[in-house]
Amino acid sequence: MREDFSVPCKPVARLYAPQIGDQSITLRSKNGLLQISVLAPDLFRVRITAGKKFSQRPSWAVSKTDWPHIPARVKVARNMAKIETKQGRVVVSLADGALSVSDKSGNVLFTSIPHKTGFEKDFCQAAFSLEDDESLFGLGETTATFNKRGLIRKFWNIDVLGHSPAIHPSLRSLYVSIPFAISIRNGRAAGLFWDNPAMQLWDLGQLTQTDWQMRTASGEIDLYLFLGPQVSDVVERYTELTGRMPLPPRWALGYQQCRYSYETRARVEEVAHEFRKREIPCDVLYLDIHHMREYRVFTFGKTFPKPAEMIAKLARDGFKTVTIVDPGVKDDAAFGVLKRGIKAKAFVKSPKGGKDYLGKVWPGVSRFPDFLNARTRKWWGEEQSFLQKNGVAGFWNDMNEPANFALPTKTLPDDCIHESDFGRVNHAQSHNVYGMQMARASRDGALAHTPDVRPFVITRAGYAGVQRHAMIWTGDNSSVWDHLSDAIQMFLNLSVSGVAFCGGDVGGFMDNTTPELLIRWMQMAAFTPFFRNHSNIHTINQEPWAFGAKAEAICRRYIELRYQLLPYLYALFAEARRTGAPIMRPLFWHYQNDPAAVAAGDQFLLGADMLIAPIVKQGATARAVYLPEGDWFDYWSGSQFTGGQAVLAHAPLETMPIFVRAGAIIPMCAIQQYVGENETGVVNLHLWPGGHGNLNWYEDDGNTMSYENGGILERAITFKDGELVFGKSAGGFTSQVKTWRVILRNAERAGKVLVNGKKVAAKFDKQTRVLAFEIPNSPERINAKLL
């Protein structure tokens, strides 16, 4: 496929012979077929093929295909066909196939450009008009701007060592491809997903400012159009279509330490010891590629004698061990994993002669498991159980674009063969799903071996729907300030692309970090879903203590804050699993009618109630923070601000600006050195007065799969007009909370407190303006009045 839009396509052309189905309409043209169907009142699917019938091949991305029947009206007139639900409609012109998608009030959300929508020999293309005031978000993992309007993006998973925020043509791709975008215009949101795992090229108004042009190298035009109108409606529906993230083990929310590589057992144990000695909380330690015997997957090398003993010892100190797992299997005839893989016919085939394809990765000449095949995935899972038997608690799937050092294209040849679950396909047609299918093999394999333990899988590569199998970390960034600021927009856009659990290398991977950069990065990342420090081989040490006492103290403080916020964070993870709502949210998630909030890509919300404004410039000790409507408190000083304006926040090195929404209920717990070290049963409920507060309190056992079978506890906690109400607990899990310690911030006086009508003792501290009292927990409704 030529990577530009200069070659025109053969357009859809005049449509005729309508076939009206129950919830669909299919039309013919001399150039192919067009079909519009209704999946939900706010979700339409538009398919166009140059062939005589549509492909029967299932999708790798879509996990829901059994949509309930809903009322839809289909109408064909002389010049147009229309399909309508109570939420909106798609109208197609019979003259030229032009599509117009509008909401129930007639607001046009998408207008196709008919002469730019169609096929050519080696590509298919669709184009829509862009309006002047339209902003675009999502697209999964991208560098550069927050708003993707004006970007050219290639969806082709690639190992980009050292990605750059600059929009450089050679860096149009990253490791992850999610061809899904959210459009926001005049406070209304809509979404578009083109489901095709071959190469896609999108121009979001760069070459022609008024056109959103999309091209894929093969297959059909297969678009899902989401009507919104809220961003949350679009993402909820998109994640209903492509699946939501399962819950990770609770420890995966803790701080994690990595490096390429901790090369020996002694060094790993030393790092573990330092964490505990210095009382810097940490849950996870990583073993990068040096743990293996000459990079042979599923082995431990000489520098890791008695790995099971080491891992068990670390576990006693509260550390979980995660190992890197790369797809390339060393082509060594004596290597057991290879031998069994060959026997299982598990590898991707060369186009010629049906032999296994040989590429090159860390182990040298290697074969690539065909993860698109269920048998291969099962075999891989069985091999992976070697690590579980040694006590490994999670799998870090790297290099799974897949990376290949043997070719300038850095991946498998286009014409390699996959014997996929859905039949034989060449690599180019399915490239972008390889990494996601590896993650699937890893997750399913982990569950096959230990069915009641929550898997923890990290992946570098992915495609739409990857969130069902793994979380995403954003690969090889650099220890430069630009990459700290770029990380914010990357995570926000990933988060609204279905991948709520995401994060990046804290401190930067390539090159040496500096104390100031590490501090600022730690401060920001303490509020991102995934919180892992990682650094490249030959770089200086990057652990929280590597830069002296002051840097260490600041890092510790923010890591501790993260642990204190665990109940708040965990409730957000549960919400992400339930609805697809991100954990780390762009301001437009809650304030899409406010153009200043839509544009604010250098700050973010953690849930609905905390606003995080990272410092991303060297030497900066203050920054402007945009506060959306409502009242906000400075988390550190307690000062109150009215929203709808930017304020100047002071940020000496030890402070990153954090604001809390008036009305917020923020549950916090005691600092622990690792998750579960010392659960006191006391939850501090910080109430910030002024507005209305809602907290969806959530608990489960944190480790097993029982959350899928009712082993959860949910309860609504609300705070309004001085009244704190705990709804009745629901679910099969027994709360571990013994005491709610209510902490009213910015209290004006030592008021009276009535709990279920009875007066309870409350302490007022004039200096800190905190009013505190305790409520013993009970599953019944609790009402606390602050008079």
In the complex, the smallest distance separating the C-beta of residue 532 from ligand GLC, rounded to whole angstroms, is: 10
At residue 111, what is the residue type?
Answer: T
* 520-579 positions binding ligand GLC, by CB under 6 A: 534
Question: Residue 412 and residue 414: Cα distance in Å, rounded?
Answer: 6
- Taking CB under 6 A as the criterion, the residue among 476, 543, 560, 700 binding ligand GLC is 476
Cβ–Cβ under 8 Å, residues 395 and 323? yes
**Cβ 382 to ligand GLC shortest distance, Å:** 23
Segment 453-472, which members bind ligand GLC (CB under 6 A)?
460
Beta bridge partners of 171: none
| Interface pick for ligand GLC out of 165, 205, 243, 475 (rule CB under 6 A) | 475
CB of 459 to ligand GLC, least distance (A): 11
Closest CA to 365 of 315, 318, 331: 331
Residue 287 makes contact with ligand GLC by CB under 6 A: no
User: In the complex, what is the shortest distance from the CB of residue 628 to ligand GLC, in angstroms, rounded to a whole number?
Assistant: 36
Task: Provide, rounded to whole angstroms, the least separation between the CB of residue 362 and ligand GLC.
Answer: 7
Whether the CB-CB separation of 33 and 19 falls below 8 Å is answered with no
Give the residue nearest to ligand GLC (CB): 260
Structure tokens that stand for 733 in this block: 């899990």
User: Which DSSP letter does residue 333 get?
Assistant: T
Show the site string, 583-612: x = touches ligand GLC by CB under 6 A, - = not.
------------------------------
HEC sequence for 366-387: EECECCCCHHHHHHHHHHHHHH
The residue (of 289 and 470) whose beta carbon lies closer to ligand GLC is 289
**Vertex 743, ends 739 and 746: CA angle to 5°?**
175
- If the CB atoms of residues 159 and 383 are measured against ligand GLC, the closer one turns out to be 159
Query: Phi and psi (nearest 5°) for 316?
Result: -60, -30
Shortest Å, Cβ 414 to ligand GLC: 23
Query: What's the chain's Rg over C-alpha atoms?
Result: 27
Indicate the residue among 62 and 403 with the shorter CB distance to ligand GLC: 403
Structure tokens at 22: 């129950």
Q: Which residue number, 112 or 400, has a Cβ lying nearer to ligand GLC?
A: 400
In this chain, which of 34, 199, 289, 466 binds ligand GLC, going by CB under 6 A?
289
Q: Which is nearer to ligand GLC, 156 or 260 (CB)?
A: 260
Q: Which of 194, 181, 191, 192 is nearest to 220 (CA)?
A: 194
Closest contact distance (angstroms) between CB of 24 and ligand GLC is 44
Size of the site for ligand GLC (CB under 6 A): 9
Please identify, using beta-carbon distances, which residue of 429 and 459 lies nearer to ligand GLC: 459
Residues 6+ apart with CB under 8 A from 674: 251, 254, 281, 282, 283, 318, 319
Q: How far apart are CA 67 and CA 65, in angstroms?
A: 6
Which of 74, 231, 272, 324 touches ligand GLC by CB under 6 A? 324
Q: Residues 394-433: x/- map of binding to ligand GLC (CB under 6 A)?
A: ----x-----------------------------------
| 477 vs 497 by CB, closer to ligand GLC | 477
Q: Which is nearer to ligand GLC, 185 or 460 (CB)?
A: 460
Kindly report each contact of residues 714-718 with a partner whose C-beta sits within 8 Å and lies 24 or more positions away, as own/partner: 714/574, 717/665, 717/685, 717/693, 718/665, 718/692, 718/693, 718/694
Residue 691 Cβ vs ligand GLC, minimum distance, rounded to whole Å: 42
Cβ 745 to ligand GLC shortest distance, Å:
40
| Three-state SS at 564 | helix
Site for ligand GLC contains 260 (CB under 6 A): yes
Instruction: Check residue 488 and report its DSSP letter.
Output: H
Binding mask 685-724 toward ligand GLC (x if CB under 6 A, else -) reads ----------------------------------------
Pure H helices in 474-565: 481-495, 515-525, 548-564
**Where in the sequence numbering do the catalytic residues fall?**
398, 401, 476
Among 211, 236, 288, 444, binds ligand GLC (CB under 6 A): 288
* Cβ atoms < 10 Å from Cβ of 206: 16
Are 325 and 397 within 8 A, CB to CB?
yes
Instruction: Indicate the residue among 390 and 477 with the shorter CB distance to ligand GLC.
Output: 477
State the Cα–Cα distance between residues 776 and 740, nearest whole angstrom: 6
Interface residues with ligand GLC (CB under 6 A) are: 260, 288-289, 324, 398, 460, 475-476, 534
